[in-house]
Structure formats: structure tokens, C-alpha cells
Amino acid sequence: MLANKTNPLAANFDDYDLLIEQMELEVREVTGEEKTKLTNRLKAYTNEMKRFDQDLKKAKVAFSDQEGRHELLSGEDSHNSEDQRARLLDNTERVERSGRQLDEGYRMCVETEQIGVDIMDNLHRDREVIERARERTRATDKNLSKSSRILTGMMRRIIQNRIIMAVICLAILGVIGLIIYYATK
């Protein structure tokens, strides 16, 4: 019923759009102060037309809602009712499938989260092991440095002892040589 009345309205809206476009073209050709006045009027007409168009759309939606309610409540057409039931069952199955898929996705998310927590725990433990190994390495390095210093000191003393021993041996040989020289003389 409203559809028959809205067709001429839609044609009038199309005519109005054409008129607006023609007005825009004519306003472009005008110059000066009159152009700004005509541009303002054209904007006002365009805004008013948009408001009328929105009102028409709202009326169409309201009327279609009323017609849909009337069809649902009247229940005259059993074929439409069966189609609606079939669509409803189809949609219900889709919703159930979607629900199952969502549950499966949620389960996978929970499993992934648990795996992530386990990995984080393993990484934490590995970090602690690495830190302990690093501390042991530092302690070993300190001990090796200390041992190296001690060994270097020992080597110096050994060399000093050998030099002293060589000097003493030379001195003894010199004394023995002198004794033999004076004894044979």
C-alpha cells in the first residue's frame, strides 16, 4: 500500500535531484554577490531535500515493520510459515555450528595459553641455570687469575734461585780454581 504511494515520491525525488544539478550548473555561471546568495539558497534546498529523503526512508522502514508484523501474526500463508521454519532451523544449525567452532577456538586459545605459560616457566628456569653458570664462570675466572699470579711468582722465584745457584756454583768453582792455582804454585 505504501509502496504504491512511494514510487511517485521516488520519481519526484529523482526530478528534484535533476533540478538541483541544473541549479548548480547555473549558479557556477553567475558571478559576484548574487552567486553567494544563490549558493546559500541551493545549500538550503539541498539540506531540506536530504531531510525529506530521510523522513521518507524512516516512514518506509516503519511501514515495512508494521506489514511484517501483520504477516507474522495473521499466519494466512502456510507455505511462507514452512519456509520461515526451514530458514529458522537452518539458521539455528548455523548458530550451533558457529557456537561449536567458537568453543573449539576458545579451547585452542586456552591450550595455546597453557603452552605459552609452560614455555615461559622453562625459559625462567633456563635463565636461572645460565645465571648460575655465569656466576661460576666468573668465580673460576677469578680463581684462574689468582692461580696465574701465584704461578708467575713461583716461576720468578725458581729463576732467581737458579741464578743464585749458578752464581754460587761459579763462586765455588772460582774458589776451588784459586785454591788449586795457589796450591800448585
Residue type at 81?
S
Query: Which of 38-47, 76-85, 116-125, 136-145 shows the lowest per-residue confidence on average (mean pLDDT)?
Result: 76-85
Task: Give the pLDDT score at 99.
Answer: 87
Q: Residue 117 above 80 pLDDT? A: yes
Instruction: Give residue 2's pLDDT band: very low, low, confident or very high (50, 70, 90).
Output: very low
Task: Give the pLDDT score at 17.
Answer: 79
Contacts of 68 (CB under 8 A, 6+ apart): none
Q: Residue 1 above 50 pLDDT? A: no
Residue range 151-159: mean pLDDT, rounded? 95
What are the structural domain ranges in the chain? 8-66+102-184
pLDDT digits (tens, 9 = 90+) for 43-98: 888 888 888 888 878 877 777 766 666 655 555 555 667 888 888 888 888 888 88
In three-state form (DSSP H/G/I as H, E/B as E, the rest C), the secondary structure along 97-161 is HHHHHHHHHHHHHHHHHHHHHHHHHHHHHHHHHHHHHHHHHHHHHHHHHHHHHHHHHHHHHHHHH
